[in-house]
Chains A and B, each alone.
Chain A
Amino acid sequence: MNIFDELGKVYNEIDTTYASIEVNARSRGHNKKEAEYFGKRQFNDQAYFLFMFTRLEDRVRNLSDQLIDDKMATLTDWKSKRSWEIIQKQKTNDSLHFMNRVSLLTLKGGTNYNLIKQYYDQRNNIGHGGSFTSAISMPTVIADMKQLYKDLKQ
């Protein structure tokens, strides 16, 4: 079982517990409690989404670091190496933007890139406490994260 399946399992256990309380509250007409657990489930969605996204972030960071190090170690021709020197400098001072790291690993504007961008925007929205957060379909997130994790290559 990979990390996304494991996280998904724990997420489901919590969601099922909260959903059960929410539905019991609804059946008894306890509107306040129903709304409270509706909100708690939303927080659970967001928390586990963020947790999963950090796993993908690590993957992007590790693969892009490896790629940059490999290029710097193997390229000898200055014309080929010059752009990698700039990228390496950004990597060293931690100014290499996450989506630029992604574009080192997959075609910019391609399906995987655009999907990661959507999730990255959502992560920022949640992480920075935006007033609105999109609903999350966790089965879709888990499937996407697994696929992206596998597809991303040096």
Chain B
Amino acid sequence: MTFLLPLWNNFNSMQQTEKKVDKQQVERRVRDWKKRVSDLYSTIKLWLKDSEYSLKPGAKLIMYEELMSQFNVPSTEIETVDIFKGKDFILTIKPKGLWIIGANGRVDILSTKGSYLLVDFAEQFKTPQWKLFNGDKNKGVEFNKQTFFQLLK
């Protein structure tokens, strides 16, 4: 039986992980996602303070992902924002999805010059670790004021 133990333990721990997913857990993750997105916008707004750019709320998107349906969690609205230089539209930021393989959410940044992905690689409910990807790079860079302003130029 000893030789089966590692496999059994692994199977057991996988089952326990699956058991943790319930309606409350899904609701908590949705709340956490909306907060992370909202915090992201607040951070960007701070970065833009005293600059020639401004952030304005855009049309809200409906969030209704598979796990929400599975656990009867109602759909919810999630914010998007647009960045302007004076009256000129520069880019838009839209949350794309929370449950993605290998990461903890994806937000799209679309500008007239190209598309970028912001992917959160933090563990669930931990401080976000946003990485910025553009079309030509496989390796993301840290998302910070400097990398964000490069998108605006």
Binding site for B on A (CB under 8 A): 5, 8, 12-13, 15-16, 19-20, 22-24, 26-27, 31, 38, 108-110, 114-115, 118-119, 122, 125, 130-144
Contacts and interface: CB of A to CB of B under 8 A. Distances in A.
A119 B101 CA distance: 8
Contact of B100 (A110, A131, A136): A136
B97 A115 contact: no
A137 to B, nearest CB: 5
B65 A132 contact: yes
Given A5-B138, A15-B115, A143-B138, 18 more contacts: A12-B136, A16-B115, A19-B114, A27-B89, A27-B92, A109-B7, A109-B10, A109-B14, A131-B69, A132-B69, A134-B65, A134-B99, A135-B100, A137-B103, A137-B117, A139-B117, A139-B138, A144-B102
Interface of B: 7, 10-11, 14, 58-59, 65-66, 69, 82, 89, 91-92, 94, 96-103, 106, 108, 110-112, 114-115, 117, 119, 133, 135-140
A31 B59 contact: yes
A7 to B, nearest CB: 12
Nearest to A17: B115
A139 B133 contact: yes
Q: Enumerate the 10 nearest inter-chain pairs by beta-carbon distance, A residue then B residue, closest first.
A: A135-B97, A19-B115, A132-B66, A27-B89, A109-B10, A12-B135, A23-B110, A139-B133, A140-B102, A135-B96
